[in-house]
Amino acid sequence: MAPIIIPIFLPHLGCQQHCLFCNQKVMAKEIPSPDSIKKFIEDSLSVFPPDQERREKQIAFYGGSFTAIPRVDQTRYLGEIQTFLTSGRIDSIRISTRPDALDVETLVLLRENGVKTIEIGAQSMLDEVLLLSKRGHGAEDTIAALTRLKQWGFELGIHLMIGLPGDTLDGFLYSLDRMIELRPDFIRIHPTLVLKGSPLEFLWKNGKYSPLPLDETIEWLKRGILKLEGASISVARIGLQPTKEFEEHLLAGPFHPALHQLVQSAIYYDMAEYLLRNHPNGSEPVFVCHPKEVSNLRGQRNENILKLKRHFKLSKIVIDEKEELSRGCLKLRTQGGEFSMHRKDLLV
């Protein structure tokens, strides 16, 4: 079970570069001081329901490049959490940072202060894309960082982006292949969005950058998720958490509040389409899936079912829920028999 995360946002703190896509001020209005976070943690812990008490709890420093801020400030932030770690009210800490800000002295500090998880903003494994995005590091920095962190025993997360300037579907899949070789514990994937106040806004307004359309974004993510699932690497999140401030700054790009669900539905559409195309028989086929997969099979507003009926000229499609059927599996019952497939079969 994933830990409960108490996020502390440090927007732009430690960032030496102003990345092309970035305006983190939409994520938080001000940077919390080390002195202020103890009360925030206390307040957050006080609202947890009793049935969540036994779950792992992590403090997460998000938003900036934690290990790139002055070491004295790193020590102060981490120091405020030590009493929670000692008492057992907090189990560990996670941070997000850059791949080129993880020297040995920093790793010693992190390990000695209860940091368990390190999330690295790699964004791409193509140097051309990183250069155009003004990241200030290359793919080799990410390789070196992951190799070192694995040796030190940290839990590793990677952030990737799709649709950056110079990016292509093949380039994204190449980045995933490099990630699979490096074996992080989990990956987050975010589509590139044009935010008010970001350098990308200027390029977009002057016709020098076009965001990915939503349908292409879903196709890229669908292929990416299946590739990562085939390699047994967890996808922790797809897309950014919507907030009022974020939506007020959003100018363009493939944003959708239920993007992950759209991608899952696209995968189930492909499965259903494959089964119907290869086993046509009868006008009222029955699909069987786990109850928690019904919404993915149906699609938003029943879109998958409507599309399948149009495509195969069907009068009716029935969905049968079976608790004993494994997640990710889909069965088709027709007059000709019963046929099944798993989502991993789409990789073949």
How far is 230 from 173, CA to CA, in rounded Å? Answer: 13
> Which residue, 280, 288, 272, is CA-closest to 343?
272
- Cα torsion 58, 64, 68, 74: sign: negative
**Backbone Cα Rg of the chain:** 22
Task: Supply the pLDDT for residue 348.
Answer: 66
Q: C-alpha distances in angstroms, 120 versus 85, 137, 184, 214, 287?
A: 23, 12, 10, 26, 41
Q: Give the CATH number of domain 265-347.
A: 3.40.30
SS (H, E, C) 72-86: HHHHHHHHCCHHHHH
258 phi, psi to nearest 5 deg:
-120, 45
Q: C-alpha distances in angstroms, 344 versus 171, 321, 340?
A: 22, 20, 12
Cα 199 versus chain centre, distance: 23
CB atoms within 10 A of CB 244: 8
How far is 245 from 292, CA to CA, in rounded Å? Answer: 32
How far is 161 from 157, CA to CA, in rounded Å? Answer: 14
Q: Report the half-sphere exposure of 258 (CA within 13 A, side-chain side).
A: 10
In contact, 71 and 109? CB cutoff 8 Å: yes
Contacts of 43 (CB under 8 A, 6+ apart): none
Give the tokens for residue 286.
């029955």
What is the amino acid identity at position 310?
Answer: R
Judge if pTM exceeds 0.75: yes
Give 119-155 as a DSSP string. EEEEE-S-HHHHHHTT-S--HHHHHHHHHHHHHHT-E
Query: Per DSSP, what are the bridge partners of residue 319?
Result: 287
Q: C-alpha distances in angstroms, 224 versus 88, 160, 221, 258?
A: 38, 11, 5, 17
Task: Supply the pLDDT for residue 120.
Answer: 96
Task: Supply the pLDDT for residue 207.
Answer: 95
> Is 4-257 in CATH node 3.20.20.70?
yes
How far is 161 from 156, CA to CA, in rounded Å? Answer: 17
Cα 105 versus chain centre, distance: 29
55 phi, psi to nearest 5 deg:
-70, 150
Mean pLDDT by 10 residues, the chain (348 residues): 89 73 64 92 88 87 92 96 96 96 96 97 96 93 96 97 97 97 96 92 95 98 96 93 83 94 97 94 89 97 96 94 96 92 90
**4-257 and 265-347: identical CATH topology:** no
Query: Per DSSP, what are the bridge partners of residue 252?
Result: 194
Classify 251 as helix, strand or coil: strand
Residue-range domain boundaries for the chain: 4-257, 265-347
How far is 67 from 106, CA to CA, in rounded Å? Answer: 7
Q: Which residue has tokens 């359309």? A: 213
How far is 167 from 211, CA to CA, in rounded Å? Answer: 11
Classify 266 as helix, strand or coil: helix
